[in-house]
């Protein structure tokens, strides 16, 4: 006691974290037309709080000794103009209240604020994706009071938190007979329609019917004399109060599935699709899994939480159970309820468990089936999915070897035969391959522009052969795992000596052999001159417009991958490229007959320089390039 106690009971005034202030203002202005969602958020928090208490009580049964049945209560007081949402869940200590009701601890916060535009409609959408939570109370309230007692603490250790949402909040000592939380909203001017049992009940059943705990409200009675309804002393349960996922599919409406999605995902938007199954057999479980419409802000955050809630026989066990789905499906939200796992399961046990492995494999297959179904039957929806999550799905090619073929079919690409939308499947590509073509060709680059203007594409354009255009960072990595599709090797147009024989006819082949002989001397000279910059020089027939290009050796990293790794700060052995010369190009033809050694050297260097630039690379010595170019321009002008 003594000093410690004094600090703890004193009234403290604290400032909100700067981001909270900003969020509050945005929310009040952009979410006003959706103001009813505050009740969904408060009930969702109350439900989470009860789940957490039930979970903690498994190891500390005392926490529930003498405790009332876990439940949520919604009440209102017309005289005081307040609405109160109460629960008898886990509660908040003083430190927890300061932390959870004064800051935003979410990952993705920075990305969220960076994306705000100032346009109310767009920002409303973004806030929704980010999650509105407790702070949404201030849409309808100009003062919010929270009285809370953490389970395990005494009645006198309860706290009262209060704020007008402007910039500060206070915390002081309070008492509460049971653990749990009351959130009281002092309504803003003009919000009196919420002071109605009928109105509140309507909002609860619309948004929160799926909550598995009872939500209680005072029963009302019609007063004939006054011609209005009047609260009685009795309470009634206004929701179905059974776990939604455990109900038969046929009894659940789309609206109920959608409302439940908002609860488990903390997302404001709609789910794109869901799959709900009861799996029977050696491992028994229920899965209700959703694919969101929009990517969350923390999709690329390594520490991000994973979206699956684990239950064991209807009892909540943990949020963000990352063992239940592989990392590349981290955007999936939902619930898995196991019949077999022990109630005291820990994250460590999850890692080892055979049941969990079976659940993960089964759930992965379900999600893939759901996506296949979208891809086959709802192409537009799938296109939307691919735009949001395509890059993450590509991780699955490397991470999920057993499902690699299924994932490969879900991939979508841009290609030289299509506009800018990624719509081409590997199966379509293979189906329209040219006669004699045995490879699936692709080019990688930083941007679509760079990919399209790559000199490596020239021969393919001439021959009318389709090339996939890959510009995602993850592509090079993915391609190291995706080496073939239906027996057709995936081949970079910028690697190795292209086996273009399959695309050439007999006359062309003979012509090419003759040309090769003709250019022997030039190739030999170029090898010597450029030995510090390229590891080999050869004649190519892959170019039509450009005089030269660089290719990587069959088994070496492409120039693009080397640049990516370098940009990511990784040390990479710099593999020297191979220079290929286009014998059809006038520059190369003239070079063959150039007798001035010095000039020939300058020309060759310049050809390497421009080949580096053409594939989006950077010159080691740009100054020398400019000098060379200028002296050549002068010669031309003479
Ligand atoms: P989220 O629910 O997404 O975590 P919220 O803004 O809704 O975000 O709530 C913030 C945090 O405040 C919760 O994570 C929880 O720790 C705490 N909290 C809110 N309401 C309650 C409650 N009724 N009981 C206990 N803790 C609560
Ligand atoms: Mg919440």
Ligand 1 atom with the shortest distance to the CA of 181: 23
What's the 408 CA to ligand 2 centre distance in angstroms?
37
- From atom 4 of ligand 1, which residue's Cα is the shortest distance away? 133
E strand or H helix at 487: none
The CA-to-CA distance between both ends of the chain, in Å, stands at: 96
Ligand 1 atom with the shortest distance to the CA of 180: 24
Question: Can you tell me the distance from the alpha carbon of 371 to that of 126, in angstroms, rounded to the nearest whole number?
Answer: 25
pLDDT digits (tens, 9 = 90+) for 310-319: 999 888 888 8
Residue 171: the pLDDT is 97
pLDDT digits (tens, 9 = 90+) for 563-621: 777 777 777 777 788 999 999 999 999 999 888 888 899 999 999 999 988 887 888 88
- Give me the mean pLDDT over the 160-179 stretch: 96
Question: Can you tell me the distance from the alpha carbon of 67 to that of 60, in angstroms, rounded to the nearest whole number?
Answer: 13
Rounded to 5 degrees, φ, ψ at 111 are -60, -40
- From atom 14 of ligand 1, which residue's Cα is the shortest distance away? 100
Q: Is the CB of 52 under 6 A from ligand 1?
A: no
| Contact of 519 with 539, CB cutoff 8 Å | yes
Residue 119 — pLDDT band, cuts 50, 70, 90?
confident
What's the 37 CA to ligand 2 centre distance in angstroms?
11
Residue 302: the pLDDT is 62
Q: Mean of the per-residue pLDDT values for the chain?
A: 89
Residue 296: the pLDDT is 82
Ligand 1 atom with the shortest distance to the CA of 85: 23
Question: Can you tell me the distance from the alpha carbon of 372 to that of 393, in angstroms, rounded to the nearest whole number?
Answer: 13
- From atom 12 of ligand 1, which residue's Cα is the shortest distance away? 100
Residue 423: the pLDDT is 93
Q: Is the CB of 41 under 6 A from ligand 1?
A: yes
What's the 324 CA to ligand 2 centre distance in angstroms?
22
What's the 44 CA to ligand 2 centre distance in angstroms?
6
What's the 115 CA to ligand 1 centre distance in angstroms?
24
| Contact of 628 with 609, CB cutoff 8 Å | yes
What's the 138 CA to ligand 1 centre distance in angstroms?
15
Which ligand gives the minimal distance to the CA of 134?
1
| Contact of 464 with 387, CB cutoff 8 Å | no
pLDDT digits (tens, 9 = 90+) for 405-452: 999 999 999 999 988 899 999 999 999 999 888 999 999 998 899 899
Residue 502: the pLDDT is 65
For residue 1, pLDDT beyond 50: no
pLDDT digits (tens, 9 = 90+) for 490-511: 999 887 666 666 666 777 778 8
What's the 332 CA to ligand 1 centre distance in angstroms?
22
Percent of the chain with pLDDT over 90: 59
Q: Is the CB of 90 under 6 A from ligand 1?
A: yes
Instruction: Answer with the residue of higher pLDDT: 557 or 406.
Output: 406
Q: Is the CB of 46 under 6 A from ligand 1?
A: yes
Rounded to 5 degrees, φ, ψ at 484 are -155, 160
Residue 2 — pLDDT band, cuts 50, 70, 90?
very low
Question: Can you tell me the distance from the alpha carbon of 119 to that of 129, in angstroms, rounded to the nearest whole number?
Answer: 15
User: What are the beta bridge partners of residue 611?
Assistant: none
CA dist 170 → 20, 164, 173 (Å): 15, 10, 10
Report the alpha-carbon angle 148-34-127, nearest 5: 75
Which ligand gives the minimal distance to the CA of 52?
1
For residue 560, pLDDT beyond 90: no
Q: Is the CB of 181 under 6 A from ligand 1?
A: yes
pLDDT digits (tens, 9 = 90+) for 14-42: 999 988 998 898 888 888 888 898 999 99
Question: Can you tell me the distance from the alpha carbon of 490 to that of 176, in angstroms, rounded to the nearest whole number?
Answer: 67
Q: Which of 231, 235, 240 is nearest to 204 (CA)?
A: 240
What's the 86 CA to ligand 1 centre distance in angstroms?
13
Q: Is the CB of 551 under 6 A from ligand 1?
A: no
| Contact of 446 with 567, CB cutoff 8 Å | no
What is the CA 571 to chain-centroid distance, rounded?
Answer: 28
User: 46, 51, 97, 134: which to mutate for ligand 1, most atoms within 8 A of CB?
Assistant: 134
Residue 566: the pLDDT is 76
What's the 100 CA to ligand 1 centre distance in angstroms?
7
Q: Is the CB of 271 under 6 A from ligand 1?
A: no
> Token digits for 301?
């955050």
Residue 315: the pLDDT is 86
| Contact of 18 with 123, CB cutoff 8 Å | no
**What is the side-by-side order of every strand in the sheet holding 215-223?**
12-15, 168-174, 158-163, 141-149, 180-187, 82-87, 72-77, 215-223, 228-237
What's the 121 CA to ligand 2 centre distance in angstroms?
22
Question: Can you tell me the distance from the alpha carbon of 115 to that of 111, in angstroms, rounded to the nearest whole number?
Answer: 6
Question: Can you tell me the distance from the alpha carbon of 573 to that of 562, in angstroms, rounded to the nearest whole number?
Answer: 8
- From atom 5 of ligand 1, which residue's Cα is the shortest distance away? 133
Q: Is the CB of 89 under 6 A from ligand 1?
A: yes
- From atom 13 of ligand 1, which residue's Cα is the shortest distance away? 100
Q: Of 33-37, 361-365, 511-515, give the range with the top mean pLDDT.
A: 361-365
pLDDT digits (tens, 9 = 90+) for 109-118: 888 888 888 8
CA dist 627 → 488, 533, 606 (Å): 46, 18, 10
Ligand 1 atom with the shortest distance to the CA of 45: 20
What's the 47 CA to ligand 1 centre distance in angstroms?
10
Instruction: Answer with the residue of higher pLDDT: 148 or 456.
Output: 148
Residue 8 — pLDDT band, cuts 50, 70, 90?
low
**For the whole model, what pTM was predicted?**
0.81
Residues near ligand 2 ion, CB 5 Å cutoff: 45, 133
Q: Is the CB of 100 under 6 A from ligand 1?
A: yes
């Amino acid at each position: 006691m003594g000093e410690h106690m004094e600090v703890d009971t004193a009234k403290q005034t604290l400032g909100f974290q700067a981001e909270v202030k900003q969020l509050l203002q945005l929310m009040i202005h952009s979410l006003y037309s959706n103001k009813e969602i505050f009740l969904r958020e408060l009930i969702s928090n109350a439900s989470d709080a009860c789940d957490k208490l039930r979970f903690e009580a498994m190891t500390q049964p005392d926490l529930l000794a003498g405790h009332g049945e876990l439940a949520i209560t919604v009440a209102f007081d017309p005289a005081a103009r307040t609405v109160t949402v109460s629960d008898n869940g886990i509660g908040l200590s003083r430190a927890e209240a300061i932390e959870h009701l004064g800051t935003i601890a979410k990952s993705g916060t920075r990305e969220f604020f960076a994306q705000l535009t100032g346009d109310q409609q767009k920002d409303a959408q973004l806030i929704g994706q980010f999650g509105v939570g407790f702070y949404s109370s201030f849409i309808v309230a100009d003062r919010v009071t929270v009285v809370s007692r953490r389970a395990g603490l005494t009645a006198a250790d309860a706290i009262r938190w209060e704020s007008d949402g402007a910039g500060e909040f206070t915390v002081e000592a309070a008492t509460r007979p049971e653990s749990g939380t009351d959130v009281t909203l002092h309504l803003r001017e003009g919000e009196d329609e919420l002071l109605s049992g009928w109105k509140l009940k309507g909002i609860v059943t619309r948004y929160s019917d799926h909550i598995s705990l009872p939500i209680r409200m005072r029963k009302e009675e019609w007063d004939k004399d006054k011609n209005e309804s009047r609260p009685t002393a009795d309470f009634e349960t206004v929701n179905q109060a059974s776990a939604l996922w455990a109900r038969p599919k046929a009894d659940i409406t789309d609206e109920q599935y959608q409302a439940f999605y908002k609860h488990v995902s903390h997302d404001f938007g709609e789910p794109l699709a869901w799959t709900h199954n009861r799996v029977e057999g050696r491992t028994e479980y229920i899965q209700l899994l959703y694919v969101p419409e929009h990517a969350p802000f923390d999709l690329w955050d390594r520490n991000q939480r994973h979206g699956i809630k684990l239950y064991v026989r209807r009892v909540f066990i943990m949020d963000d159970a990352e063992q239940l789905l592989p990392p590349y499906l981290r955007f999936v939200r939902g619930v898995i309820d196991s019949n077999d796992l022990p109630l005291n399961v820990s994250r460590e046990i999850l890692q080892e468990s055979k049941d969990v492995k079976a659940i993960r494999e089964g759930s992965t297959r379900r999600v893939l089936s759901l996506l296949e179904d979208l891809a086959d039957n709802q192409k537009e929806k799938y296109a939307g999915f691919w735009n949001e999550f395509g890059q993450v799905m590509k991780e699955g090619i490397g991470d999920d070897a057993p499902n690699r073929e299924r994932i490969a079919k879900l991939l979508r690409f841009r290609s030289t035969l299509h506009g800018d939308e990624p719509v081409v499947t590997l199966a379509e590509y293979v189906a329209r391959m040219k006669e004699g073509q045995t490879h699936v060709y692709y080019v990688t680059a930083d941007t679509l522009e760079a990919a399209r203007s790559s000199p490596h594409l020239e021969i393919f354009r001439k021959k009318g052969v389709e090339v996939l255009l890959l510009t995602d960072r993850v592509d090079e990595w993915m391609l190291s795992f995706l080496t073939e599709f239906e027996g057709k090797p995936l081949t970079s147009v910028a690697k190795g000596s292209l086996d273009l024989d399959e695309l050439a006819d007999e006359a062309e082949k003979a012509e090419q052999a003759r040309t090769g002989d003709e250019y022997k001397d030039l190739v030999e000279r170029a090898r010597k001159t450029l030995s510090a910059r390229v590891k080999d020089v050869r004649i190519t027939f892959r170019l039509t417009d450009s005089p030269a290009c660089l290719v990587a050796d069959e088994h070496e990293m492409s120039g693009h991958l080397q640049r990516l790794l370098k940009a990511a700060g990784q040390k990479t052995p710099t593999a020297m490229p191979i220079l290929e010369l286009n014998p059809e190009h006038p520059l190369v033809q003239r070079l063959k007959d150039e007798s001035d050694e010095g000039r020939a050297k300058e020309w060759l260097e310049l050809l390497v320089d421009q080949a580096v630039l053409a594939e989006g690379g950077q010159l080691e010595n740009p100054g020398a390039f400019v000098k060379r170019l200028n002296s050549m321009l002068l010669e031309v002008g003479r």
